């Protein structure tokens, strides 16, 4: 029988947390205005290509919201309103 002591398994980067980690790596050095612009551009492109996934976006939003200040949350809600149009 194999010993399982010390077994850590494979780390999964899936789901909203994986998206958050990837976004921090990819966009962490951008200003808030640049991030908003990039998000709007990405959503427009995804909608145009028919691959926009609102559930995935909302999962990401729910993951990052605890890391935001009240002002940033308000700004994010505004951006989400623009995306929904």
Where are the domains positioned within the chain?
32-83
> pLDDT value at position 68?
85
> pLDDT value at position 7?
46
- pTM beyond cutoff 0.75: no
Q: What is the dihedral of CA 44, 65, 69, 75, to 10 degrees?
A: 20
Nearest Cα to 11, choosing from 21, 26, 3, 23? 21
Average pLDDT in the chain: 79
pLDDT of 3-34, one tens digit each?
555 545 445 446 767 777 887 788 788 888 88
Which residues are within 8 A (CB) of 84 and not within 5 positions of it... i.e. 6 or more apart? none
Mean pLDDT across 50-67: 86
Token digits for 59?
């999962």
> pLDDT value at position 18?
79
């Amino acid at each position: 029988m194999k010993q399982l002591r010390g077994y850590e398994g494979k780390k999964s980067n899936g789901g909203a947390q994986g998206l958050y980690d990837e976004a921090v790596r990819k966009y962490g050095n951008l200003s808030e205005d640049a991030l908003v612009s990039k998000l709007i551009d990405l959503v427009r492109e995804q909608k145009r290509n028919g691959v926009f996934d609102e559930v995935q976006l909302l999962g990401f939003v729910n993951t990052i919201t605890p890391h935001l200040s009240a002002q940033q949350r308000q700004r994010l809600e505004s951006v989400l309103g623009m995306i929904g149009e």
